[in-house]
Structure 1
């Protein structure tokens, strides 16, 4: 039996990254209207062309660099101009490799801005609308926050800050707004990664003996987006 889906309006942040693209496509395929934001305007336009279809039409595109302090308010204003908002998916994708001996204040501040500060401020800026629509927020975080790996101090620090901040917002915004997190393990795309040795190494690092796929992340993210009896939860996949 197919359960009818009531189309929603969803903002995807970090939409031109591999996982962001997969999530945006899945939302459109099930009939949702999407707004997409990322730093590269050409890549955003190309994604919008790919996502344009009936009956959802062309997605709203918002070019913004999350390192810019003005970005959260600018994104929020543009989203609200287009109508209602039912949900946000935070799929911010930069994965900076920063050996400890090369870690700088600039690295840490920029990574925190992209992965924690801007997303938290954006959710806060849109919280009134999400409260009105009884919407949801889903964030992609990293299983490495609780099982750290080397050479990513800035990235893991930022993801940890986002994880804590969103769980606090889940309390602040309840019961109208649901805020949940998807903590993902290693995700690889065999079609895009032609190095079999690298894929074997990735698979060997998982207790399940394999890496995850974008499709599995999409399934998890949309399941949390639709979950009506969960908030402040961290759903781990890929461990």
Structure 2
């Protein structure tokens, strides 16, 4: 299952999983985008399964679990889901002098509380499959940048929470994080000077690409001797 499937990296990860033959369940908050994605990921086996839920809502986790049970009924031998990829958005800009309680509550809910509760709710399924959880983290949790206090606080919280889950769920379920530097998004920022300044934060002197993120996510899904790891790329 890909959580946050309609975001730019969620789409890239979902396409890669479909291309290698995995059966995918997509979840995000926009039903129209989900429907379009489900059709586009048809690799001759029919559209991908979708479950629509908004992680800011208190009942989002129960909606996802119920939708998953309907889409892929569990059996005694196997649960509804084998692996979870947490590619949750959004990426809100919150200048410190404008920071509000609502900003912290929203980002913590989307990036930390809902993902941890979702893994908790599906822990039995994951254990049956000897499955994995892979989350997209942010290098800003250790090298913070300006105007994103709420987002970075939430990413730091889920970083710690997921490492704790790796201990709680071992040895049956692996939990790892791909901690990302800045991934190129030409549509979001066409300012060459700003792009150059941000790119110099990376030791490689450039932004990453969605394809490079996908490579690491797939590697962590398949790395059967890795758990509790934070694989930093583009830092």
- Which residue of 227, 232, 237 maps to 2:228? 232
Q: 2:184 corresponds to which residue?
A: 188
Q: 1:122 corresponds to which residue?
A: 118
1:164 paired with 2:160, answer: yes
- Which residue of 10, 32, 37 maps to 1:42? 32
CA RMSD of aligned residues (A): 1.4
1:175 paired with 2:165, answer: no
Q: 2:66 corresponds to which residue?
A: 77
Gaps of 5+ in 2: 74-79
CA displacement at 1:41 relative to structure 2? 1.0
What does residue range 10-89 of structure 1 map to in structure 2 within 5 Å? 11-55=1-45, 57-81=46-70, 82-83=72-73, 84-89=80-85
- Provide the C-alpha distance between the structure 2 equivalents of 1:63 and 1:191, rounded to a whole number of angstroms: 26
Distance 1:149 1:27, change over 3 A: same
- Provide the C-alpha distance between the structure 1 equivalents of 2:147 and 2:192, rounded to a whole number of angstroms: 23
- Provide the C-alpha distance between the structure 2 equivalents of 1:119 and 1:34, rounded to a whole number of angstroms: 18
CA displacement at 1:189 relative to structure 2? 3.5
Greater shift in the superposed pair: 130-139 or 76-85? 76-85
CA displacement at 1:196 relative to structure 2? 3.8
Distance 1:125 1:230, change over 3 A: same
Q: Aligned with 1:124: secondary structure? A: helix
Gaps of 5+ in 1: 1-10
- Provide the C-alpha distance between the structure 1 equivalents of 2:146 and 2:190, rounded to a whole number of angstroms: 24
- Provide the C-alpha distance between the structure 2 equivalents of 1:12 and 1:231, rounded to a whole number of angstroms: 19
Q: Aligned with 1:147: secondary structure? A: coil
- Provide the C-alpha distance between the structure 2 equivalents of 1:49 and 1:58, rounded to a whole number of angstroms: 5
Contact 1:48 1:59 in 2 (8 A): yes
Contact 2:135 2:177 in 1 (8 A): yes
TM-score normalized by the length of structure 1: 0.91
TM-score normalized by the length of structure 2: 0.93
CA displacement at 1:28 relative to structure 2? 0.1
- Provide the C-alpha distance between the structure 2 equivalents of 1:75 and 1:48, rounded to a whole number of angstroms: 16
Q: 2:76 corresponds to which residue?
A: none
Contact 1:189 1:214 in 2 (8 A): no
CA displacement at 1:197 relative to structure 2? 3.8
